[in-house]
A and B are shown apart, each in its own frame.
Chain A
Amino acid sequence: MTIKKYMTAAAVAIAAAALAGSALARDFTIASWGGGYQDSQRKNFFKPYGDSKGIRVLEDTYLGGWAQFKAMQETGNRPWDVVQVETSELIRGCEEGLFVKLDWSRIGQKSDFITPAVTECGLGVAVVSQLVGYNPKNTKVQPTSIADFFDLKKIPGKRGLRSDPKGTLEFALMADGVDVMDVYKVMSTKAGLDRAFAKLESIKSSIQWWEAGAQAPEWLVSGDVVMSTAYNGRISKANKDGHGLKMLWQNNILYVDKWAIFKDSANVDAAYGYLKFFTDPKREAAFTNDYTYGQPNKAALNFIKPEVAAELPAGKNIADALDTGREDSVEFWLDNSDEIFERWTAWKAK
């Protein structure tokens, strides 16, 4: 009899917990990339927003990719209200109805923002550039173009590249003389893709692949590579520690992450409130002075220190940059990433 009593009690407790879970609204939750980056976001955006509304802002870490979203779709759970995602996940989440189509009247004037920051389901967060970084201490001849990165005669030695076909194949084609606007047109053909792989093949023995963004500046500082592709913010951060690394802006590759709001979120109003709060140019500028990534609000540039602005993916620095938010870029990778990933893996291992 006692066992039965325990079982009943346990069943009641579980049922009660489940009810409580669904009935009690969770506090407003934002997910971002974690680490020092999110620390800076907390200081400049999350905490001030919570304080201004008198609410608690919870945080979580998004690991990238689609797995966490797939789990949400299959279980129906929505642990987050707002998330910072890359463009490909944004498009997928938008198409599959995971994110809300933004009501821009609740955020601000579309014209206040740079073009890649305004999309159907996402508001730009940060403008990040992947570019060639080098350490003048390691090389006498300094690279002046992306073609030099692929020129072993002119600049011998190891070079770091991101272990990902996305971006790397684009760099190869641009170095081979393809115009930034034609990259995907060329790469859509078999001959064009072969050309990109052939260009990479020409320096393969000197490539050192990086997986995490922090590795590239570490290697530049330690002398393991003479130059490396890297995210501009990482190089600036190393330079704040006095390492004197240089950046080559020609043909850099732009990424604009987006804030997206979950459709079934119980805190949609708080989410819109947060997005509006985030777009304040002074606030965005304060973040950039902390962490050198560009901002979606054009007016933010007025409040950014000039020495920081010189190292930003903005203005003349991105005059010939490749924007990965471009429609042909997004479409190309959504259509071809599965097949190219296999070819890439086979090629890399050879």
Chain B
Amino acid sequence: MRRADRLRKFRAYGLIAPLFLFLVAFFLVPIGFVLYFSISNPEVVTMLPRVTEALRAWDGQNLPDEATFAALAEDLKLGYADRTLPKVSLRLNYEVSGFRSLLMRTGRKAKRMQAPFREAMIARDARWSDLIYWRTLKGNDSAFTMHYLLQAIDLDLQWDGGIRRAPPEKQVYLDNLQRTLWIALVVALSCIVLGYPVAYMIATAPRRLAKILILLVLLPFWTSLLVRTAAWVIVLQKAGIVNDVLLGLGLVEEPLALIFNRTGVYIAMVHILLPFMILPHYSVMKGIPSDHVRAATSLGATPRAAFLSVYFPQTLPGLAAGCLLVYVIALGFYITPMLIGGGSDQMLAYLIAEYATNTANWGLAGALAILLLACIGVLYPLYQRFAGAGGMKLG
């Protein structure tokens, strides 16, 4: 009996094992890597080990002693020879512009430098007498750092561990996050307004009509996102279809600015995401027996009351699922705002892509991704509460 039980359990586990392994390999492990990249800081400790050690005893107030300069000269010499110096130079340049050229310039000559190193290095580049470079080195004496995660929320990690707000011209990320959350919210709300009646119509239409309607919803859904985005450019541009029609009818005198601004982004994103709102609603509405509303009205409820107290509450699970889907997908939008938006319509994914692919600053790209993930992490419990026990469970 027990053996049979165990066997059954074993078989059940065996059946979900492929999915479980898939999730681990393609979901959990990559997220783990992203988290790791966002706090990992190996460059200075591994590529400039001697000066890192020498700076541990330094108080950060006066220029370091000759031994520290000598340690740096040795690190630069070796780093230049084994070609690790460019990497650590770029890393330090994230914090102080110009650190790269300072290290590379000094590194090229480090082999021929002789004691006293302090004089030799300052003679090569006077910037070595500026404390900021030494403090930045000292601030990176650990293989892990909060630098990127703090930068992602517009905070600046100081060399002595203090945290300050980033200067105004570098406050980029919270503003962008706020905009990203706002755009996703507007898109989700617009999708409810537009999608709810459509879903209701499909759910209550005669079968043949419903089939056609659902096909109309699905057809754009099956078209590639890039194609739909490009199509919107043609429709919305200055000499596009919409403007031609409006001008032709004499409704406007000047072509409307429908693209390369927020309006265009909303239009295109709502269109792209509408099926994600309609389909969950449709499946929920399909399951609501039509005699519920009829019963309510026969008991004297006005159509409005019947809808609000009988029909609408039953559609809440669909609403919650649709909203979550649309909102979460909208948060990660990248190509549509890039091609249809203007300078102030770019979303967080744009910055993540820039750092991940262009400059290969994976630390900051990882930190921004974690930020976005955290926002979704906050939303999910809210959704579960809202959707209640009858709601669709994702986990």
Binding site for B on A (CB under 8 A): 63-67, 69-70, 92, 95-97, 163, 207-209, 211, 222-224, 331, 334-339, 341-343, 345-350
Task: Chain A residues near B197: list those with CB within 8 A.
Answer: none
- A70 surroundings in chain B (CB, below 8 A): 360, 362
Closest to A161 in B: B343
- Contact status A350-B344, CB under 8 Å: yes
Residues in A whose Cβ lies below 8 Å from that of B237? 222, 224
Contact pick for B83, options A97, A207, A334, CB 8 Å: A97
* CB pair A338 B97 closer than 8 Å: yes
Distance in angstroms from B33 CB to nearest chain A CB is 12
Contact partner, A211, options B93, B98, B175, B338, Cβ 8 Å:
B338
Name B's A-contacting residues (CB within 8 A): 83, 85-87, 90, 93-94, 97-98, 100-101, 104, 168-172, 175-176, 179, 237-239, 259-260, 338-339, 342-344, 346, 351, 354, 356-362
* Docked CA distance A207–B98 (Å): 30
Top-7 shortest CB links A-B: A66-B360, A65-B358, A348-B343, A95-B86, A97-B83, A67-B357, A339-B97
Docked-complex contact B169 and A342, CB < 8 angstroms: yes
Asked if B354 and A341 make an inter-chain contact with CB atoms under 8 angstroms apart, the answer reads: yes
- Are A208 and B360 neighbours in the complex by a CB distance under 8 Å? no
Cβ-defined contact, B101 with A67, below 8 A = no
State how many angstroms separate the Cβ of A290 from the closest Cβ of chain B: 26
List residues of chain B with CB within 8 A of the CB of A339.
97, 170
**A137 to B166 alpha-carbon distance, docked (Å):** 47
- A92 adjacent to B86 (CB under 8 Å): yes
Chain B minimum-CB-distance residue to A347? B169
Residue of A nearest to B99 (CB): A335
State which of A92, A207, A338 has its C-beta within 8 Å of the C-beta of B361.
A338
Q: By the criterion CB–CB under 8 Å, are B357 and A63 in contact? A: yes
Would A65 and B359 count as touching, CB distance under 8 A?
yes
Asked if A349 and B176 sit within 8 Å, CB to CB, the answer is yes
User: A95 and B83 in contact (CB under 8 A), knowing A335-B93, A349-B343?
Assistant: yes
Distance in Å: Cβ of B264 to nearest Cβ of chain A? 12
Residues of chain B within 8 A (CB-CB) of A97 are 83
Q: Residue of B at shortest CB range from A71? A: B360
Given contacts A95-B83, A224-B260, A345-B176, 17 further A-B contacts (CB under 8 A): A65-B358, A67-B357, A207-B343, A209-B342, A331-B101, A335-B93, A335-B97, A338-B97, A341-B359, A342-B169, A345-B172, A346-B169, A346-B171, A348-B346, A349-B176, A349-B346, A350-B344
A166 CB to closest chain B CB (Å) equals 11
Q: Which residues of the other chain, A, contact B346 by a CB distance below 8 angstroms?
A: 348-349
**Could you tell me the distance in whole angstroms from the C-beta of B333 to the nearest C-beta in chain A?**
15
Report chain A residues within 8 Å CB of B170: 339, 342-343, 346
Q: Is there contact, CB below 8 Å, between A338 and B359?
A: yes
Which of B339, B342, B359 is in CB contact (< 8 Å) with A337?
Answer: B359
Q: How far is the CA of A97 from the CA of B79 in the complex (A)?
A: 12
In the complex, are the beta carbons of B104 and A95 less than 8 A apart? yes
Contacts of B168 in A (CB 8 A): 346
> Can you list 14 A-B pairs, Cβ within 8 angstroms, ordered by A?
A70-B362, A97-B83, A207-B343, A209-B260, A224-B239, A224-B259, A334-B100, A334-B101, A335-B100, A336-B97, A336-B98, A342-B170, A343-B170, A346-B169
- Residues of B near A223 (CB, < 8 A) are 238-239
- The answer to whether B172 touches A346 (Cβ under 8 A) is yes
Cα distance A64–B93 when bound, in Å? 21
Residue of A95, A223, A336 with most partner-chain B CB within 10 A: A95
CA distance A345 to B359 in the complex (A): 15
> With A and B bound together, what is the CA distance between A89 and B85 in angstroms?
16
Q: CA–CA, A341 to B339, complex, Å? A: 20
* CB-based contact B343/A338 at 8 Å: no
Query: What's the Cα separation between A208 and B344 when bound, in Å?
Result: 11
Known A207-B343, A209-B343; judge A67-B100 contact (CB<8 A).
Answer: no
Q: In the complex, are the beta carbons of B344 and A345 less than 8 A apart? A: no
Q: Measured between alpha carbons, how far is A223 from B238 in the docked complex, in Å?
A: 7
Contacts of B176 in A (CB 8 A): 345, 349
In the complex, are the beta carbons of A338 and B239 less than 8 A apart?
Answer: no
For A343, the chain B residues whose CB sits under 8 A away are 169-170
A186 to B205, CA, bound (A): 69
Bound-state Cα–Cα, A92 to B93, Å: 14
Q: A67-B357, A224-B238, A336-B97 are in contact. Are A345 and B87 (CB under 8 A)?
A: no
Q: CA of A69 to CA of B362 in the docked complex: distance in angstroms?
A: 13
Q: A95-B104, A224-B237, A338-B94 are in contact. Are A345 and B351 (CB under 8 A)?
A: yes
Q: Which residues of B contact A64 (CB under 8 A)?
A: 357-358
List, in ascending order, chain B residues with CB within 8 A of A349's CB.
Answer: 172, 175-176, 179, 343-344, 346
Q: Which residue of B lies closest to A160 (CB)?
A: B260
| Residue in chain A with minimal CB distance to B96 | A339
A127 to chain B, nearest CB (A): 23
**Which residues of chain A have C-beta atoms less than 8 A from B90's C-beta?**
92
Contacts of A222 in B (CB 8 A): 237-239
Chain B residues with Cβ under 8 A from A207's Cβ? Answer: 343
> A67 contacts which chain B residues (CB < 8 A)?
356-358, 360
A350 to B179, CA, bound (A): 11
Minimum C-beta distance from A83 to chain B (A) = 15
Residues of B within 8 A of A338 (CB): 93-94, 97, 359, 361
Task: Compute how far the CA of A341 lies from the CA of B365 in the bound complex, rounded to whole angstroms.
Answer: 14
The answer on a CB contact under 8 Å between B357 and A335 is no
Per the bound structure, the CA–CA distance linking A223 and B237 in Å amounts to 9
